[in-house]
Amino acid sequence: MDSSRDDGRIESYLAAVEASMGKVPSERREALVLELRGHVDKLVEDYEADGKSKAVAVDQALSMMGEAQKLGRQYARMWYRSTEPGSVLAAFGVLMISNRVIGSLLNPIYVRFGSHAPVNHFAVTYLFPGLSIATAIVGTILMSWVMPKGATRALMIQCALVIAASTTMWIGRSANVTSLVMSQLILIAANLISVGVAAAVVRLRMRKFAGI
């Protein structure tokens, strides 16, 4: 059988894989396809070394690699979930900016209910914790949508910082310990919830835009 025809089958297979990679950037596609080509060529060489014809070797190599569309989607998932240099820092920056903007918008509510005596127990017990959780979740959604690569790790960093700050406050302050502990536990819970929200948003965005 014509060897060029077998090579053409390999090229068609690689083209189908690349076409199934969704919105993976072109330079990354080329690197992934080049890597895949190396695997296919190595399998063909191994089968030919076992005495098989080129046509049979190509058949078995492509069969070993699996369905082209499925493999392309797997490569896309690997890229989409990977962390590239600077992605975590960029996601963390977006998260901080989002939280600051949302906090500024909510500041009048904090001033209205928190700056006058007597203390508004409803605000302290329910309103402020609810706003803290809402701020964390909304900031998480914005950050995860804008910067999906690195979003989850950025949130883990924030959660670690919150826990560290909370521990320092517990150690350094003895007055009204119960209220302090409760408020910090709420912040920690909000950050842990945000990690789950981020994972869900990243997966939604991956399905919607990457086609995977």
Q: How many CA atoms lie within 13 A of 133 on its CB side?
A: 14
To the nearest whole number, what is the mean pLDDT of the chain?
77
Summarize the confidence of residues 121-146 as an average pLDDT: 75
Which residues, at least 6 apart from 144, have a Cβ–Cβ distance to it below 8 Å?
151, 197, 198, 201, 202, 205
**What pLDDT, on the 0 to 100 scale, is given for residue 40?**
92
If one compares 90 and 117, the residue with the highest pLDDT of the two is 90
If one compares 34 and 27, the residue with the highest pLDDT of the two is 34
* CA distance readout (Å), 37 to 15, 17, 34, 44, 167: 11, 11, 5, 11, 52
| Rounded-to-integer distance, Cα 71 and Cα 168, Å | 48
**What pLDDT, on the 0 to 100 scale, is given for residue 170?**
63
pLDDT tens profile 143-195: 877 777 777 778 778 777 777 766 676 665 555 566 666 666 776 777 777 77
pLDDT tens profile 72-106: 888 887 777 676 667 778 888 888 888 788 878 87
Phi, psi of 133 (to 5 degrees): -65, -45
**What pLDDT, on the 0 to 100 scale, is given for residue 150?**
77
- Whole-prediction pTM: 0.53
Longest dimension (CA), the chain: 91
CB burial string 48-79: b at 16+ within 10 A, e below: eeeebebebbbbbbbeebeebeebbbbbbbeb
pLDDT classification of 15: cutoffs 50, 70, 90: very high
pLDDT at 212 over 60: no
| Pair 166, 188: CB distance under 8 Å | yes
Is the peptide bond preceding residue 118 cis, with omega within 30 degrees of 0?
yes
